[in-house]
Structure 1
């Protein structure tokens, strides 16, 4: 009898050890009634993802579009986070904020399906959109033979007055100028890098504060050459019937990765993880690809996206975005003060 009672006691103790953690996990995994998302994405994109997420989970999404102020807002709230998820902005920003201990790691079900190029090796952030930045030209103004073949050609005096560009306030331009500089830094040739950017600046007819004005300038034949994110080039080529041709740069083109992460100290942690799982998944990525022409990072999503996303081939520039994260702001401040318009003719 004593032996039987001891056995029963041991079994009960074992069940307690097993069942308590399971019950705790079940309680921990219960989704909160809302999730707060800080983002750089436009309202229409956020509404599409938010509505689909709420329909699937019942969790209400409160989102705020902060554009260029996103990182600073997350930093400012570090001691008392008011958001749960950071959604949008380039991976270089995520790497910088990860170093400041502003995220917590999370492993969604699709994590192992993403190319290492598009995710943090420790699971602190994941790319949801890949955004190649490519050169292009107006084929009504310039032939393929006369167009630049690589980024370094943009400094050739023969292209003086034939380039229009975004200024460095644009995340794509910031990333591009910084990526080009890094190619010189790798060879300990930063002086040559700044000389290249100054020579390129001398050829730039005008900088624009918005992508729509930039493309309008190329369309009205103000200048034939520019560079922009691939989906914008395709949008203007297909929807606006602009005679644009893409240049596959010999040195490769920078590929910016828009990412997503769970903010450390999130007040709605389970809902935050669920949002990352959903927004980074193939269904949401394909949804944004078909509605907004944003190129997915998941192969499964690319297969369900507009045909051009699987067909256009381009070389990828070797960029260490992690190393770039701590230098980009300083470099672009220098570009803005010392390079921009420095090569223009003074009247």
Structure 2
């Protein structure tokens, strides 16, 4: 069992823009220009984190850096990757904030990211950053089975992945459309991987059976949340932090089951886009949203489990939650995920329904 408790000791993170040394009145003009250089007037963020987190950190960052306009686009992590790819010759984004590490590895291999080693590097375990510092981990995300407590009791709820294939859940499962979601791509790929990473046939068969029980693939997370909350379906698969947030903050009748056989635990990350047009502002934003203060805000208000090992006094649900982590070779994930998901989309999605029609 793995306890997701990230505690430790560390020095406080130094944040802030470049400031002039006012201790001497003899500094020359060139020195003053260098030390007083302002950040660019804007920074552009691509992120799947949603308007609540993005809006909050936009305001906090702009309060500290009054000359910088934070502009963000909220979209699925796969959509971010696709967009960064399409803009590779003329980068529009500065920061990509939020996606599973395998997606950042893929972007790294395609030459889409820029190296940046942050000031808090020593507070990260080796597994929570790229070896060349093309990305760093911001949070840990266990995947879970989500259910509507008004429709399904704790005793009845699926206890493991294979339970989702039981006929009693036919047309009770509503799933976020996987191809646009890093969370869902990871869950689906994990189902293939655990069967046999060298031969996806058994995994594809498993997903075919899940498709038979799936009522709908929702276009975005909010649609999935609302439909499950209303009882249009009673079961989904998603991540633990969002499930806790929806229950605590929005009053949704949600609870989660940690699969007994083990679950993939994602490292969510952040990266600077190659040739970012506002590099200095990008670095400042990167540091800002990964400070110890920001990590505590994200844990307490947005239910994110930090990767930094020097953040103390975390919420009880983080400190006391025990997870059986699936043993995953993330390199294998990276190499195969695209093909696995393409096969699912072309050969499995909704095929059981088409046959009946």
TM-score range with shorter-chain normalisation? Answer: 0.7 to 0.9
CA deviations 1:33-91 (Å, max 9, x no partner) are: 33523312334422322332343355514423152432233223333433332222332
| Residue 173 of structure 1: aligned partner | 184
Match of 1:184 in 2: 195
Cα distance in 1, alignment partners of residues 316 and 38 from structure 2: 36
The 1:28/1:332 distance shift into structure 2, 3 A limit, reads farther
Q: Does 1:49 align with 2:57?
A: yes
Determine if the alignment matches structure 1 residue 342 to structure 2 residue 320.
Answer: no
Aligned length, in residue pairs = 322
Q: Which residue of 1 aligns with 2:73?
A: 65
Q: Using a 3 Å threshold, how does the CA distance of structure 1 residues 244 and 33 change in structure 2: closer, same or farther?
A: closer
How far residue 125 of structure 1 moved from its aligned partner, in angstroms, is: 0.3
Normalized per residue, the structure richer in helix is 1
The residue that corresponds to 2:39 in the other structure is 32
Assess if the C-alpha contact under 8 Å between 1:137 and 1:224 holds in 2: yes
CA deviation after TM superposition for structure 1 residue 240, in Å: 4.5
Which structure would you say has the larger Rg? 1
- SS for the counterpart of 1:327 is helix
Residue of structure 2 equivalent to 1:244: 254
Would the aligned equivalents of 2:196 and 2:202 in 1 still touch at CA under 8 Å? Answer: no
Instruction: Find the counterpart in structure 1 of residue 27 from structure 2.
Output: none
CA distance in 2, matches of 1:240, 1:248: 21
- 2:323 maps to 314
Residue 217 (structure 2) aligned to one of 184, 207, 210:
207
1:105–1:29 CA distance, 2 compared to 1 (3 A)? farther
Is the aligned partner of 1:89 residue 2:99?
A: yes
2:43–2:281 CA contact under 8 A, matched in 1: no
Aligned residue among 119, 134, 138 for 2:129: 119
Q: Give unmatched runs, 5+ long, in structure 1.
A: 1-22
2:16 corresponds in structure 1 to: none
Q: Tell whether the 8 Å contact from 1:126 to 1:280 is kept in structure 2 after alignment.
A: no
CA distance, structure 2, for counterparts of residue 234 and residue 291 of structure 1? 11
- State the secondary structure of the residue aligned to 1:148: coil
2:282 is equivalent to residue 275 of structure 1: no
Secondary structure, counterpart of 1:122 in structure 2:
coil
1:38 touches 1:70 (CA, 8 Å); kept in 2?
A: no
Question: Which consecutive segments of 4 or more residues in structure 1 shift more than 6 A?
Answer: none
Q: How far apart in 2 are the matches of 1:193 and 1:130?
A: 25
In the superposition, relative to structure 1, how do residues 45 and 138 fare at CA in structure 2: closer, same or farther (>3 Å)?
closer
Per-residue CA deviations over 1:209-268 (Å, capped at 9, x if unaligned) read 233332333334344322122233223333454443321212322233332112232344
Correspondence for 1:325: 334
- C-alpha distance after superposition, 1:85-138 (max 9, x if no partner): 222233222111111122222221222222333321221101223332210333
Distance 1:170 1:71, change over 3 A: closer
How far apart are the structure 2 equivalents of 1:242 and 1:56? 34
